[in-house]
Amino acid sequence: MIAGAVLARFDVAQIAIYVFWLFFAGLIYYLRREDHREGYPLVPDFPGQGTPREFPLMPAPKQFLMADGTVSYAPRAEDAEHFAAGPALPWPGAPFEPTGSAMKDAVGPAAYALRADVPEHAYDDGLPKVVPLRSAADFFLADEDPDPRGYSVFAADGVVAGTVVDAWIDRSEYIARYLEVETTAALGGRRVLLPMHYAQVKPAQSAITTGYITAAQFADVPAHKSPDTVTSREEDAITAYYAGGMLYAMPGRLGPVL
């Protein structure tokens, strides 16, 4: 047999492209299965519709070793979420409207992801990242910046909601993340966190203003369990509460501008 006669019977270029197509189809199938690890199984838009069809099927759980030494699995069994909102119109894809207190029920702009309910830790020393200045002896506010401690906090309705008693800093980023506010006696005298990006510092008036929630709504700011640390989930809940106030704090904020 003449050397190369076997290959002469086949179109090598055509075989190569067929092999590539099979490989590419397999790659797409693999990637589509892998993206089913988070956010699945799907849930129906309306009760009683049954679980939406999924293609391809969900992959087997895979084990992931996290930076803190814990093990996470994906996909994993999760409790069904129930939230106080319902579709505004009777067809799939309709927007959801809150059926209760939207800011407290984490609906719309007040929604947030359920991150781990533990404090986020720094990579260099493994200590909690976000802590109050009273717990971080090596940190201080820059001399050229105003010290907000002792400032009165004015809410969106112009009413004093409380007084700043401390600043919470990010030990990894070297920035202030929150102001700790002690609410007035009328609001329960509790201590809550106000995100810095939702606060406007006015040194001339020794005041902090925030246009996101009213004074009365400071009484319902989500709490954090520990006085000197805040978990990732608590941070999201607190920030989402103020974000929800952009739409739900006052009735006049709902609806179109024009």
Across the range 69-93, mean pLDDT stands at 82
Tell me: domain 109-253, CATH 3.10.20.740, correct?
A: no
Q: How confident is the model at residue 66 (pLDDT cuts 50, 70, 90)?
A: confident
Express as a percent the part of the chain with pLDDT over 70.
94
**Beta bridge partners of residue 202, listed in sequence order:** 207
The pLDDT tens digits of the residues spanning 129-143 come to 999 999 998 899 999
DSSP state of 119: B
Reported pTM: 0.80
Q: Where are the domains of the chain?
A: 5-34, 109-253
Q: How many CA atoms lie within 13 A of 169 on its CB side?
A: 18
For residue 237, what are its two tokens? Answer: 């809940």
| Pair 96, 72: CB distance under 8 Å | no
The pLDDT tens digits of the residues spanning 97-114 come to 888 888 999 988 899 888
Query: What's the CA gap between 44 and 83, in Å, rounded?
Result: 14
CA torsion through residues 252, 253, 254, 255, sign: positive
| Pair 163, 181: CB distance under 8 Å | yes
Q: How confident is the model at residue 47 (pLDDT cuts 50, 70, 90)?
A: low
CA torsion through residues 178, 182, 184, 190, sign: positive
Asked if residue 41 has a cis previous peptide bond (ω within 30° of 0), the answer is: yes
Check residue 7 and give its pLDDT. Answer: 60
| CA 157 distance to own-chain centroid | 27
